[in-house]
Amino acid sequence: MVYTSYEMIRDCRADAPAGWSFLLSHYVPAIRRIVAHYGQGDAQAILLQLRDPKSSLFASMEPGPERWFVGELRQHVLATLPVPAAEIELELSTVAEALAPLTVTEKLAAWLESMRYSPEQAAAMLRVSAATVEKIRARSAELIRGKVDAWRRTLLAENGLALGRAAAAAHTNECLPGKAFVDILDGRTTWGGREQMERHVGACWHCIDHYCRMLEVVEVMRGIQPLNAEEAAPLRKLLGLAEEKKSAWRKLLHK
């Protein structure tokens, strides 16, 4: 029987050990990748926050597919990170006004820069060339430069966390659910559906951010390996979980 993220979310909400054990083994590597990419944060502290009964992650979450869960987990992790004060602040409204002439793909390429992804990394996510991403970002930088009093080339990345939080908070009733972006990435969206999606996303920076989050999730989960029992043991202790019982065949192997 396969234990899935659906069961894990249900069990974590009920504070069942099976759910927390699965979270530790399968999603701690994802948490560590996210923390490492953004260059700050403490994976163990984040786990303790998740374990807290007051944690908002499982309190409001309904069971869903893995990538959707990892997208929500990613948001939770980034919400724990301190937002450094930018020397030159950049508002989301300024970005939206400056980059309005760009296509959806161009806006994604620009926004992935705010998420600290290199042209090569963004190119792999968007399935375009790194040279194309570099050209888009150069144009984006000039468009933003024309809307601000003070500017430098790294302005998007320097304001990335703050911009991401502003975009996440800009949700409207017309915004697309996470499943819509998963369907696009999996090629399950019709041409008509994609055109309708792009009409909304092209004018919505909440959905641009959400789309980029789901692109990021695919990369975060690529080639990831679950923790084995020995690697997970200290984390089980950290969360106050009982030691995992070994099956009979595992006991024989360790004799």
Average pLDDT over residues 157-177: 94
Contact indicator for 172, 127 with CB cutoff of 8 Å? no
How far apart are alpha carbons 164 and 87 in whole angstroms? Answer: 17
Whether the pLDDT of residue 217 is over 60: the answer is yes
Per-residue model confidence (pLDDT) at position 193: 77
Whether the pLDDT of residue 137 is over 60: the answer is yes
The whole-model pTM stands at 0.88
How far apart are alpha carbons 118 and 50 in whole angstroms? Answer: 30
Average pLDDT over residues 227-233: 94
DSSP state of 189: S
How far apart are alpha carbons 95 and 14 in whole angstroms? Answer: 42
Q: What angle do CA 80, 7, 241 make, to 5 degrees?
A: 60
In sequence order, what are the residues at sequence separation of 6 or more whose Cβ sits closer than 8 angstroms to the Cβ of residue 183? 189
> 44-53, 155-164, 171-180: which has the highest mean pLDDT?
155-164
Whether the pLDDT of residue 253 is over 70: the answer is no
Higher per-residue confidence, 75 vs 253: 75
Percent of the chain with pLDDT strictly greater than 90: 65
Q: Tokens 């701690």 belong to which residue?
A: 28
User: Is residue 128 left, alpha or beta, with left meaning phi > 0 and alpha meaning psi from -120 to 50?
Assistant: beta
Whether the pLDDT of residue 254 is over 50: the answer is no
Q: What is the pLDDT of residues 70-82, one digit of tens each?
A: 998 999 999 988 8
**Residue 142 CB coordination number (10 Å):** 11
Q: What is the DSSP string of 98-123?
A: HTTTS-HHHHHHHHHHHTT--HHHHH
DSSP state of 244: P
Q: What is the pLDDT of residues 91-128, one digit of tens each?
A: 999 999 999 999 999 999 999 999 999 999 999 999 99
Percent of the chain with pLDDT strictly greater than 70: 93
Average pLDDT over residues 214-241: 94
